[in-house]
Amino acid sequence: MSTKTVIRWNLRQLMAENGMFATTDLVEPLHRRGVEISRQMVHRVATKPPQRINLDLLAALCDILACTPNDLLELAQEQVVEPAASGDGGPGIGDLRPIRATIRRPSTGE
């Protein structure tokens, strides 16, 4: 078993601590700070860890939630479970193959 470093995105937890339970609660405060993003984008940023984040958005989130970037982005170590060998009792996904189907017309009874 090995470990890998991951970044945890804690936006939802910080929103809840500040009494914000809907992702749309961020739209107006972001707008007041000059960050114009759609409701859909706010929802994505709040519900999934972003692969990239604009520094203006990060600064606005920190200002709205009275936190630091370290509160939003947390480095963590996770255990990685290596996949088991395919010979230990069941087929692995690489061993599965499709079965060819044969389609036949029904007999006409003549």
Instruction: Give 57-86 pLDDT, tens digit per residue.
Output: 999 999 999 999 999 999 999 888 876 555
Output the average pLDDT for the chain.
87
Task: List Cα–Cα distances, 24 to 13, 30, 54, 63, in angstroms.
Answer: 15, 10, 19, 17
What number is the average pLDDT over the span 14-24?
94
CB 73 within 8 A of CB 87: no
Nearest in space to 45 (alpha carbons), one of 77, 74, 9: 9
- Banded pLDDT at 94 (limits 50, 70, 90): confident
Quick one: tokens of 89? 């009792």
Question: For residue 79, which amino acid is it?
Answer: Q
State pTM to two decimals.
0.69
Does pLDDT of 96 surpass 80?
A: no
pLDDT at 92: 62
CATH topology for 2-80 is: 434 Repressor (Amino-terminal Domain) (1.10.260)
CB 42 within 8 A of CB 26: yes
pLDDT at 102: 85
What number is the average pLDDT over the span 94-98?
75
